[in-house]
Amino acid sequence: MLNKIIEILSVPIMILNFVGGIIGGIWLAFLGEWTLIVIGVLFLFTSHWILSIFMMPNLLIAGIASQFYEKKNPLGHFFGFISQLYMNLLIISWCIFAFLVCSHFYSGEIGITYIPYLLWSWGMALGPWQFFASKEPDNEFSAITLFSASVFYFLFLISIFISPLFRLIITVIFGVVQLIILPIFNMYIANKLENY
């Protein structure tokens, strides 16, 4: 059952990853949204550096966790959780930031004309994280976190067209999964791997 859900959600995410930004950019060009296009292109070339600066505190936290892990101290799991929590909070914040930047340029009613802004926000929100994940292909924690963020961002974008209540539900679930469940799950996996 879970595998089927993952397969179903993977298809639109893969399509959005491959062509969402391109379609959104072309559509925005036809709409004359050159400022937003320039901002998006600037994000493309600078976001990984900007995010790297925000990720620096996590190096300290992860280093502390690593020291405790080496000594088999349970505090390693605590600092590992804090490290995951910080990264996931950063991912959520970046997604919100990208969404708000793109939405700032849209002034119409929610409808089909909002789609290019949402497609453009997809690339701006998740592009840097996909770049980071591509640099560590063997890191299952990054893959799980990125897939979760992609699924929830996709559901969030769809919820905009459904209802404010559904959008709120998706947002709350996204926050709970990213900030509580995933860090705990990743610590569980790390603990299992450590014991093998």
User: Of the candidates 146, 184, 39, 32, which has an alpha carbon nearest to the alpha carbon of residue 97?
Assistant: 39
Percent of the chain topping pLDDT 70: 93
Q: How many residues does the chain have?
A: 196
Greater confidence (128 vs 73) lies with 128
Contacts 24+ apart (CB under 8 A), 107-112: 110/160, 110/161
Q: Which whole number is the average pLDDT over 42-53?
A: 89
List the chain domain ranges.
23-195
- Full-model pTM: 0.84
Question: For residues 66 and 78, what is the distance between their CA atoms, to the nearest angstrom?
Answer: 11
Per DSSP, the residues of 148-181 read: HHHHHHHHHHHHTTT-HHHHHHHHHHHHHIIIII
60, 54 in Cβ contact below 8 A?
no
Task: Assess whether pLDDT exceeds 80 at residue 4.
Answer: no
Q: Is 87 exposed, middle or buried (0-12, 13-18, 19+ CB in 10 A)?
A: buried
The predicted structure's pLDDT at residue 193: 67
The predicted structure's pLDDT at residue 6: 65
Q: Which whole number is the average pLDDT over 144-158?
A: 84
Task: Assess whether pLDDT exceeds 80 at residue 190.
Answer: no
The model's confidence at residue 72, banded by pLDDT at 50, 70 and 90, is confident
Average pLDDT, the chain: 84
The predicted structure's pLDDT at residue 153: 86
Radius of gyration of the chain measured on its C-alpha atoms = 18
